[in-house]
Amino acid sequence: MRSRVRAADLLPLASIGMRSRPLRAALSTLGIAIGVAAIVGVLGITRSSQADLLARIDHLGTNLLTVANGTRIGGDEAKLPTSSATGAARTDGVLKVTATAGVPRLQVFRTDMVPAYRGGGVEVRATEPSLLDTLDGHLATGVFLNDATARYPVVVLGHDAATALGIAQVDAGTRVWLGEHWFTVAGVLRPFELAPEIDRAALIGLPVAASYFGYDGHPTRLYVRADTARTVPVAGMLARAVNPGEPNSVNVSRPSDALASRLLVADSITSLLLGLGAVALLVGGVGVANVMVISVLERRTEIGLRRALGAARRHITVQFMTESLLLSLLGGLTGVILGAAVTHAVAAYRGWHPLVPLSAVGGGFAATLLIGVVAGVYPAVRAARLNPTDALRTA
């Protein structure tokens, strides 16, 4: 009668080695588990981070442009014309424009008793009242400048500037010593992710900057909101619209590009970590192959007895190949669970929505299947080639 092995008997036969030596089986799958966990965790964390970053970019908008004064061909600092905001506003596709100007050599303190040489790192910027609307910003407390308060010694503090000065709430008596003058604090802004220079600044009106500190009317930075569908063409036209005489001395940038570039950095780091995960998988595959070879040597008696009782070589081959696949799949399953857990933990800590890509899970299992096949081929063939008589005699 032809010898055969039932499918129902194959799994108990293939798991004999794992059940008899569970610690060795667990250690042999550790490398595979680490490799798969690295792949799933890295891809999961990266996708969660990228999804959060893309959501922030969509919320903040990609249609904000900044126009700043640059340098002339000779290296001298250029000035934006006094009419630069008007020229930008007349550009087709521009929705909103706000002019601002840095007012140099001014110090801001909480009291007039602080020596002038102890600068607090807070810069002073003169701005139009439309800044908050153009940047789509929000106040943490108080109110922003308007056409009336922009003419008087009234200041609005950026988030970092208020923190440096120790101001969290404002009332009628909240003042700062700005440029040897007392200024009433009208409000404190929430952080601007696309305009960090505003976070570090104390904002005053353009009229009071001219009357108190000799502001000459030349802005140093324009904030421009463009039609989203026409942002790129508008960016190409702004330099000539702002300064027709010296367009090369005008710097036009899109702040959201800095956020988008972080996606590229994340991709490069992901590739590196995936490489490390692949190395761990390779080490794990070597460990499984080593355990399978040892298992063949230790079970020579069992193999010889089964061959003597009628088991064919193909049955022995299938048994050891199945055992190798079981070891690899056990490591892969453990790795997927561990990688998903790490992804959810990091996402919860960062406040992201956790995403575990199906491609990472499928790729991890596919890699473990491949490792199981490759690691089990040589031990299975070696076991099948054992002569039953020699195996029993050796035992």
Report the pLDDT value the prediction gives residue 117, as an integer from 0 to 100: 66
Report the pLDDT value the prediction gives residue 11, as an integer from 0 to 100: 67
Looking only at the bridges linking them, the beta strands covering 221-226 and 154-157 are: unpaired
Q: Which residue has the tokens 């007895």?
A: 305
Per-state percent for the chain, helix, strand, coil, to nearest 5: 55, 15, 25
Report the pLDDT value the prediction gives residue 182, as an integer from 0 to 100: 94
Report the pLDDT value the prediction gives residue 389, as an integer from 0 to 100: 65
Report the pLDDT value the prediction gives residue 222, as an integer from 0 to 100: 93
Report the pLDDT value the prediction gives residue 393, as an integer from 0 to 100: 57
Residue type, 187: G
Report the pLDDT value the prediction gives residue 1, as an integer from 0 to 100: 43
Structure tokens at 261: 């570039």
Positions of the chain with pLDDT under 70: 1-11, 13-14, 17, 54, 56-61, 72-76, 116-120, 256-270, 272-273, 276, 309-311, 388-395
Kindly report, residue by residue over 323-348, the tens digit of the pLDDT. 888 888 888 898 899 989 999 998 88
Using CA atoms, how far apart are residues 277 and 339, in angstroms rounded to an integer? 11
For residues 105 and 148, is the Cβ–Cβ distance under 8 A? no
Kindly report, residue by residue over 10-58, the tens digit of the pLDDT. 667 667 767 777 787 777 778 788 888 888 888 888 888 877 776 766 6
Report the pLDDT value the prediction gives residue 131, as an integer from 0 to 100: 93
